[in-house]
Amino acid sequence: MMKKLELKGTLILIFVTLIWGSTFSLTKISLKYLTPFFLLFERFFLGSLFLGIYFIVKGIPIRINWAGSILGIINFSAIAFQTFGLRSTTATKGAFITGLSVLMVPFFERIFLGRKISIRLWLSVFIGFLGLTMLTVDFTQIGYINWGDFLVFICALLYAIQIVYIAYVVHKKEVLDLVFSELIITMFLALLFHIFFEPESLPLRNIFISFIPVLYLGTIATSLTLTLQLIGQKYLTPTKSALIYNLEPVFATIFAFFILKESLSLIQFIGAFLILLSLFTSIPSSPIDN
């Protein structure tokens, strides 16, 4: 049986991935008007502002700590490597390579946290990765390996490190301090990259047109979800968390079907089923306090 706190963490992270899944369609719409790093800056600026207002209303002192700042550096670095990598590779290969992070997490959990990974959990990881591959990859477009693939691989590596790092630090620091620090650091780094790598000016009209989806991305899909992510990972192992994050492309596909009218193939249906199956095979799994 799944323990009460583990169930709580699972439900929280499923909700987080549901929200993240909705961001793909809205990000695609926003990028018609904004450059990638400006969108990232605006998103994390609104997230920081939203959380900062909450601190002020609740009378909570605003603190930026090193642990959260490192989390922000990892988070932004993963996004930056993925952004630059996708300029030289296909979205299909990028999705496949990013999905490798699911395979990396149990290794990092074993190495850095010293936790034993059960056979059942290894099986779940394999099923989840297979499902993710079937859901996101068009094998006719895989082709050869290039520099962009390597950059996206670093992104996958960083995402795996981020999941394990959260598990390490979330019990040592206040969650809201960690989130605010992550938001602020990511915001400033995104602004710097926008200034240096996106010299073209953006019409003010574009910012206004895209404001509603960006407001959702910044408040609900960033500030709220990053807070819930850290709370949810308090009760789960990194490997179990990674399996739940596999649901993100499942939800993204569902939202794309309804919002962007994108179709879903039989292979993608099977992939989504395998991702769900991987969650069920991971129960029971090792609770966080073992």
Q: Inform me whether the pLDDT recorded for 225 exceeds 90.
A: yes
> What is d(CA 275, CA 260) in angstroms, rounded to the nearest whole number?
23
Residue spans per domain, the chain: 4-281
| Mean of pLDDT over the chain | 90
pLDDT tier, 93 (very low <50, low <70, confident <90, very high otherwise): confident
Average pLDDT over residues 78-94: 84
Query: Which pLDDT belongs to residue 256?
Result: 82
pLDDT higher than 50, residue 132: yes
Mean pLDDT on 74-98: 86
Residue from 240, 170, 251, 228 nearest 2 by CA: 240
Query: What is the C-alpha to C-alpha distance for residues 125 and 138, in angstroms, rounded to an integer?
Result: 21
Q: Which of 196, 178, 176 is nearest to 188 (CA)?
A: 196
pLDDT digits (tens, 9 = 90+) for 18-61: 999 888 888 988 999 999 999 999 999 999 999 999 999 999 99
Sign of CA dihedral 92, 95, 97, 103: negative
Using CA atoms, how far apart are residues 40 and 27, in angstroms rounded to an integer?
Answer: 10
The amino acid at 255: F
How many residues in total does the chain contain?
290
Are the beta carbons of 43 and 20 closer than 8 angstroms?
no
Joined together, the tokens standing for residue 152 give 């996206």
Q: Is residue 124 pLDDT above 90, yes or no?
A: yes
pLDDT digits over 250-285, tens only? 898 888 888 878 787 899 899 999 999 998 888 765
Count of alpha carbons within 13 angstroms of residue 232, beta-carbon side: 24
Establish how many alpha carbons lie within 13 A of residue 97's alpha carbon, considering only the half-sphere containing its beta carbon: 28
Contact 237, 285 (CB under 8 A): yes
pLDDT at 92: 67
Segment 186-208 mean pLDDT: 93
Q: Whole-angstrom Cα distance, residue 217 to residue 235?
A: 26
